[in-house]
Amino acid sequence: MALLTTEALVLRGYKLGETSKVVVLLTRERGKVRAVARGARGGRPRYQSALEPLSEVRVSLYGRQGAELLRLGEAELLHSAFRAGTRSLEAALFLSGCSELLDAFSSEGEAEDRVYRLALAVVEAAEKGASPELLGRYLEAWLLKLHGLYPPLDRCAACGGELPATGALAYHRAAHGFVCGSCGPASGPDLPADSRRLLVEFFRRPPDALGEAGPAARPVEAFHRDLIAAHLERDLRAPRVIREVARETGR
* Distance (Å, whole) CA 172 – CA 242: 27
* Distance (Å, whole) CA 184 – CA 70: 51
Residues that bind Zn ion (CB under 5 A): 156, 158-159, 161, 180, 183
Peptide bond preceding 206 in cis form (omega within 30 of 0)? no
Nearer to Zn ion by Cβ, of 96 and 187: the residue is 187
Q: What is the 3-state secondary structure (H, E, C) of 94-152?
A: HHHHHHHHHHHHCCECCCCHHHHHHHHHHHHHHHCCCCHHHHHHHHHHHHHHHCCCCCC
* Shortest Å distance, C-beta 126 to Zn ion: 39
Residue type, 68: E
Nearer to Zn ion by Cβ, of 182 and 249: the residue is 182
* Distance (Å, whole) CA 218 – CA 44: 45
* Shortest Å distance, C-beta 151 to Zn ion: 13
* Shortest Å distance, C-beta 156 to Zn ion: 3
Nearer to Zn ion by Cβ, of 120 and 156: the residue is 156
* Shortest Å distance, C-beta 161 to Zn ion: 5
Nearer to Zn ion by Cβ, of 164 and 206: the residue is 164
